[in-house]
Structure 1
Amino acid sequence: MKVERLLAIVIMLLNKRRVSARELSDHFEVSLRTVYRDLETINAAGIPIVAYPGASGGYEIMENFTIDRQYLSLDELVAVIAALKGVHSSTDDKQIGQLLEKIKALLTTAPSSLQGSAHPVVYDFNPWGSTPAIAEKVNKLREAIEKRLRVRITYTKIQGDATERTIEPVTLIIKGYVWYVYGYCLQRQEDRLFRLSRIADMSVLTEEFSPRPYHVDKLEWLEEWYTAERISLVLEFASRVHVRVRDMFAPETIETMQDGSMLVRTKMPDDEWLTGMLLSFGDTLCVHEPPHVRQRIGDAVKRMAKLYE
């Protein structure tokens, strides 16, 4: 559609500064005559296009031109900056940093009271306990995704088994406080989700891959996180950990008893994470149901006690 092409031309001019008519013609697969008409239309719409002759000539948007406030209000610009700061905190992405500076420049004419003010919401996607090693993995994988290069990894499953994998990375995901990479595993011949903290070694290969038909926004991520069977639990917590309990469990699952203790009825995946999470409460927790989880926790406590005899 013409409107979409006009918008794409404006974005291209903003990103690449000077662009020749031939480059625009080849990129959008239209005639030079159509390109000239499009540039006249953009100019007539209030976005000043300047033409430069010569071998290195072309078209660019007039220097110091900024988006008028009729497109974005000052409050909207501040909200965009707050969100971009949150994304930028989680990865050393130079493109995001440059975009952040460009959008900040749009506020140069804003009232001084607004320029220095903070947005009501602070977005920080940097996981707790994030290390430079994780940030390095994120940047390497992002580059591999952009260039469509295969990646060889040494991956350790939760059971402790380490395997060599070659993957075709599709997207990076941050879920809660954990980074994941989603892609096609050549060894398993299917799509897989890999936790970055379990990737011991990683190397970006020179082998390119053709993208497979993915619809990232429709992928059922939750199936990957909760592969274990979800079981019903009845847990009793001491009153002194009530803050942590309310942080972890939904209000409707918590029943406060007369003595101040809390009875929690909930469902969780029956895996190693569950065992570790329950043990982390120490003597402030008693597992009532199911019997096999109660037995598992009891056995773990006995083994721990033997270490200190």
Structure 2
Amino acid sequence: MSEHGTDPATETFVALRNLLFTVAYEMLGSAADAEDVLQETWLRWVEVDPGQVRDPRAYLVRITTRQSLNRIRTLRHRKEAYVGSWLPEPLITAPDVAEDVELAESVSMALMLVLETLSPTERAVFVLREVFDLDYDEIASAVDKSPGAVRQIAHRARRHVDARRPRKTASASETRAALESFRRALETGDLQGLLDVLAPHVVLVSDGGGVKQAAPRPITTSGKVARFIIGGLGKQKVTLTSDPTVVNGSPALVMRLDGDVDGVLAFHVEDARITGLYYVRNPEKLTRVASETPLTVR
């Protein structure tokens, strides 16, 4: 036992918990499922003699990855039956996540949707290599592949992601400026103001989960997106939060209707204009908007 009354195994797990949660969340896109994975990881960890573990961080990341891969099979059936578009569960994140450019991009709505197009093993390899910088031997033991196979999978996954990821990510200040322009246009019902801040090829994805009204499919082009926003959100007299909000490492808006949270609206900005809008309204995905969720790659 330590001087604080906790055993070394517990201290190690607690110290690495935020890292393990981040691994699971990037694999699953669901905070609730990530928490379940951490519980399963803990149950396996307490059965191990810590003195026999050379590298606790690598060991726990390996368990978390394997449990996440098991969980993906369950999620796949759930997503196949999902009503409308599916978006990752939004997380209110601390400012330091936004300051870590690579971490912020890796948990952004835009990139998380790209990761959804990978196979489970490709996603695991990509996340562990590109986000957490694990070596190929460590990743191989986590996904039960040879290091040579992992190198090939990593190359294939990186090529797949690079072909689909946003061209570039704007700075937090550029995103905030675009967000404020969007917000003013929404509050005043200014259609032209919205058109000015939306990129011509903008895409809006809304997720109601069959519980809240949402567009059944993504909406594309600035004219259609602007009309949808003015005709939908604008007519509901939604009151926007005035305090800056950071969701998945980027400036975002928590939308309120009659004082209650109606959804979270995340943005992707390129060249000072909005290219992606991600509106999560499914109440089951809004349990993390009252407090910050700590994320880390270290």
TM over 0.5: no
**Per residue, is there more helix in 1 or in 2?**
2
- So what's the TM-score if we normalise by structure 1? 0.24
**Per residue, is there more strand in 1 or in 2?**
1
- So what's the TM-score if we normalise by structure 2? 0.25
